[in-house]
Every structure is written in structure tokens, then in C-alpha cells.
Amino acid sequence: MDVWSIKSILSWTDTYFSRHRIDSPRLTAEILLAQALGLRRLDLYLQHDRPLEKQELAAFKTLIRRRTAREPVAYITGRKGFFNEQFKVAPGVLIPRPDTETLVETAVEILSKIKQHGRQARVIELGVGSGAVIISIANACDGPLYFGNERSSVALTMACANVKAFARSPVSLFRGDWLAAIAPQPLFDLILSNPPYIPSADIESLAPEVRDHEPRLALDGGPDGLDAVRVILAQAGDRLLPCGRLILEIGFDQKPLIKSLAQKFSWVVELDFIKDLAGHHRLAVFKK
């Protein structure tokens, strides 16, 4: 019977994943083997000649099958790195993307300026998903009052678990559909969201990891991708304080549509677009 070492099984899996067109085959192999063995990735290299036991091979093969069936790595491992934490994720919860870190950075910059004026800001994230965004903002900028809501009970449960595990400042979460549960009065300095913004017709063309596994509720933005954006814009004006801001993550090609849509809301006095690290327009910032 062949004896597989950590080194040899990684080499084989790298080739196998490449043949099946799995993204980042070597990295994926390392992450999944570390998961199966209960090790850090670094330990794989420190113990590269270690032979694998039968049950360890079986556990690893199960993870390989899940990945070649296009299940996202984050769902297999149960976590996803975002900013400074490894947040818990699971099926039914949108996986945090690196692009969305731009949303965190922009929010922190705005809140830091408010803090300089000695005032306690109020912040709410709409549709928190895993909670990675609002927790990252709260950890980077203490002082404001942080709130978040989510209409999916599965995602809300996960967000609550992440708040308990990772939040260093209080974050209050509740079940809600955008701003409908909040009285229409000026309460917030900052409202932010990464709403669903993919046009319905484009969903089928997404990578199978996204199309077949991630929650459609968090992806499908309706015919032009802006159904949720329209609802949020209609609700946000009454709930923002004077000079308050609404930050929305948007699709890389949606700037013209957003500019046209914003003109229909009289409360919007200023609109800026912010690019992500790839140079795409990733955020729309509306000022009241």
C-alpha cells in the first residue's frame, strides 16, 4: 500500500485541482489539508515528511470532493479572512470579499472625522451577512454606537456568533429588512450596506461557487441590479442626520445608473464614487 506524506499528497492534489480548473490549486490544497489535519499551513512545511494515517487521508479526500464539486473553500473550512480576523461563515451566509474592505476603510475615515469633533456617531449596516463589515469598522474605530440588521435568520445567527467572538466594541444586531423597522426620523450619521446588486439575468453566468452555493438573496439585485438600492435610497433620507452619509457597495459598471438614480432623491446633495484596489468604482457615497 502506498504511503502518502504531507509533501506527496500536496503535490498530487495540486495537480488534481489544476486538472479540474480549481482556482489557486496549491493554496487550496494547503488550506484543505491543514483543515483535515487540524494544523496551521506553516505546520505542513515543518512536518512535510510526516506520513498520513488512513483516517486522515479519508478526511482529506472528503474535502477534495467537496471542492471539486465547486463548494467554496470558506464553506468547507467554516471561516473567511477579512481585515484582521478569520470570520465564521457557513452556507446561507454571503462570503466576505476583499473588494468590500474598501467599504470598511471609507467608513472608518468618515467616522474618524466625526470623532475629531467630539461627537458620538451612530452607525448602522443594512444586511450584515456574516457581520464582518460592521465588526471590522467597530474594531478599527471605537466610540460610535454600532447597529446592524439582517433579514436572513441564518445570516443573523452567524453575525451574532461573530460579534461574540471578534467584536471589541458593542455591536447591536436585530432582524430587519433594510430600514423598514426604524422610525423615519434623523438618527444616524452613517448608513452603509453591501446590498445585492447583480442583475438577475447575470446570475447564471457567475462562477458555480457563487451561483450554486451562495445565498441568492444576497446577490440578486433585480432586473438592473438596483432594486435594493432604490429601496435604501428611498428610506435613508429620513433616517440620516443633516450631513449624514449613506455608503453603498455597487457593481463595477453601475456608476452611470447610480448617478441617474440619485437625481430622483432630493435629499442627496452630494455624490462621490470611490475605487477599489483594482481601480473599479466600488462605492457610492451619498451625502444628505
Q: For residues 208-221, give the mean pLDDT.
A: 94
Pair 110, 58 in one domain: no
Q: For residues 249-255, give the mean pLDDT.
A: 94
pLDDT tops 90 at residue 278: no
Is position 136 annotated in a ligand binding site? no
Is position 199 annotated in a ligand binding site? no
Pair 243, 201 in one domain: yes
Is position 130 annotated in a ligand binding site? yes
271, β-bridge pairs: 286
Is 25 inside a domain boundary?
Answer: yes
pLDDT per position as a tens digit, 18-70: 999 999 999 999 999 999 999 999 999 999 899 999 999 999 999 999 999 99
Is 37 inside a domain boundary?
Answer: yes
Q: CA-to-CA distance for 104 and 189, rounded, in angstroms?
A: 15
**Band of pLDDT at residue 3, cut at 50, 70 and 90:** confident
Q: For residues 245-272, give the mean pLDDT.
A: 95
Is 83 inside a domain boundary?
Answer: no
What pLDDT does 115 receive? Answer: 78
Is position 131 annotated in a ligand binding site? yes
Q: For residues 251-271, give the mean pLDDT.
A: 95
pLDDT per position as a tens digit, 57-105: 999 999 999 999 999 999 999 999 999 899 999 999 999 999 999 999 9
Q: CA-to-CA distance for 157 and 196, rounded, in angstroms?
A: 20
The enclosing domain of 253 has a CATH number of 3.40.50.150
Pair 113, 209 in one domain: yes
Is position 4 annotated in a ligand binding site? no
Pair 227, 115 in one domain: yes
Q: CA-to-CA distance for 33 and 39, rounded, in angstroms?
A: 8
Phi-psi region of 145 (alpha: psi -120 to 50; beta: other; left: phi over 0): beta
Is position 209 annotated in a ligand binding site? no
Q: For residues 189-207, give the mean pLDDT.
A: 95
Is 76 inside a domain boundary?
Answer: no
Q: For residues 244-256, give the mean pLDDT.
A: 95
What pLDDT does 120 receive? Answer: 87
Pair 50, 100 in one domain: no
pLDDT tops 60 at residue 172: yes
Counting the structural domains of the chain, the total is 2
Average pLDDT over all residues of the chain: 94
User: Can you give the residue range of the structural domain that contains 99?
Assistant: 88-287
What pLDDT does 138 receive? Answer: 96
Full 3-state SS string of the chain: CCCCEHHHHHHHHHHHHHHCCCCCHHHHHHHHHHHHHCCCHHHHHHCCCCECCHHHHHHHHHHHHHHHCCCCHHHHHCEEEECCEEEECCCCCCCCCHHHHHHHHHHHHHHHHHHHCCCCCEEEEECCCCCHHHHHHHHHCCCCEEEEEECCHHHHHHHHHHHHHHCCCCEEEEECCCCCCCCCCCCEEEEEECCCCECHHHHHHCCHHHHCCCCHHHCECCCCCCHHHHHHHHHHHHHEEEEEEEEEECCCCCHHHHHHHHCCCCCCCEEEEEECCCCCEEEEEEEC
Is position 11 annotated in a ligand binding site? no
What pLDDT does 113 receive? Answer: 87
Pair 53, 184 in one domain: no
Length of the chain: 288
Q: For residues 252-274, give the mean pLDDT.
A: 95
What pLDDT does 2 receive? Answer: 73
pLDDT per position as a tens digit, 145-158: 999 999 999 999 99
**Band of pLDDT at residue 1, cut at 50, 70 and 90:** very low
Is 12 inside a domain boundary?
Answer: yes
Is position 194 annotated in a ligand binding site? yes
Is position 150 annotated in a ligand binding site? yes
pLDDT per position as a tens digit, 113-136: 887 777 789 999 999 999 999 999
